[in-house]
């Protein structure tokens, strides 16, 4: 267990650990289709964050990375197939962070929030634009800022 998550209940830890998975699915499926490049990018970003994350998030991303691919595939199977219904279900899950993040170290919460937004941006950029680079579709752009999660720095 990582120190930053010690104040949390088991169900709250589960929400925090699955948050990057939910963000990945939210953005990858925003256009109604989770394509191979988005799936691959989500898994690659999660792996990279295990070694190249913001200070204080390294242990968190190691914990997330252990089950990321399995959680990703499991949640894709469990979440509603319809785009709007899936977005609604994921938004509901991510909103739980608004009650959980105030219970943890503020610096950790701020860094985690920024990291989730960074993850959303990288996944959104993975499947668009010229030759697939640096372009974000309209659907992804609407969700990419993760406005359902309150900014813990405020």
Query: Is 150 within a domain?
Result: no
Query: Is 111 within a domain?
Result: yes
pLDDT in the model for residue 41:
77
29-47 core/surface letters (b: 16 or more CB in 10 A; e: else): bbbeebeeebbebbbebbe
Residue 61 pLDDT level (bands cut at 50, 70, 90): confident
- In the numeric block, the tokens 């949640």 are attached to 75
Query: Is 151 within a domain?
Result: no
CA distance 80 to 49: 28
Query: Is 149 within a domain?
Result: no
pLDDT above 90 for 124: no
Residue-range definition of the domain harbouring residue 86? 9-144
Query: Is 98 within a domain?
Result: yes
Average confidence score pLDDT of the chain: 86
> What residues are paired with 133 via a beta bridge?
130
pTM assigned to the model: 0.90
Q: pLDDT digits over 63-72, tens only?
A: 888 889 899 9
CA distance 82 to 26: 12
Provide, rounded to the nearest whole percent, the portion of the chain with pLDDT above 70. Answer: 90
Q: pLDDT digits over 7-45, tens only?
A: 999 999 999 999 999 999 998 888 887 877 777 877 887
Query: Is 2 within a domain?
Result: no
What is the total count of domains within the chain? 1
Query: Is 152 within a domain?
Result: no
Residue 53 pLDDT level (bands cut at 50, 70, 90): low
Query: Is 49 within a domain?
Result: yes
- In the numeric block, the tokens 């191979």 are attached to 36
């Amino acid at each position: 267990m990582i120190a930053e998550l010690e104040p949390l209940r088991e169900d709250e830890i589960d929400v925090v650990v699955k948050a990057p998975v939910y963000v990945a699915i939210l953005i990858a499926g925003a256009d109604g289709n989770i394509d191979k490049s988005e799936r691959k990018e989500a898994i690659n970003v999660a792996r990279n964050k295990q070694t190249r994350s913001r200070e204080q998030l390294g242990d968190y991303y190691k914990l997330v990375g252990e089950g990321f691919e399995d959680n990703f595939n499991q949640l894709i199977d469990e979440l509603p197939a319809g785009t709007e219904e899936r977005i609604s279900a994921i938004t509901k899950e991510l909103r739980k962070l608004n009650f959980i993040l105030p219970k943890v170290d503020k610096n950790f919460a701020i860094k985690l929030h920024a990291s989730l937004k960074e993850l959303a941006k990288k996944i959104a950029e993975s499947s668009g634009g010229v030759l697939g680079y640096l372009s974000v579709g309209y659907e992804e752009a609407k969700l990419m800022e993760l406005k359902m999660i309150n900014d813990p720095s405020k």
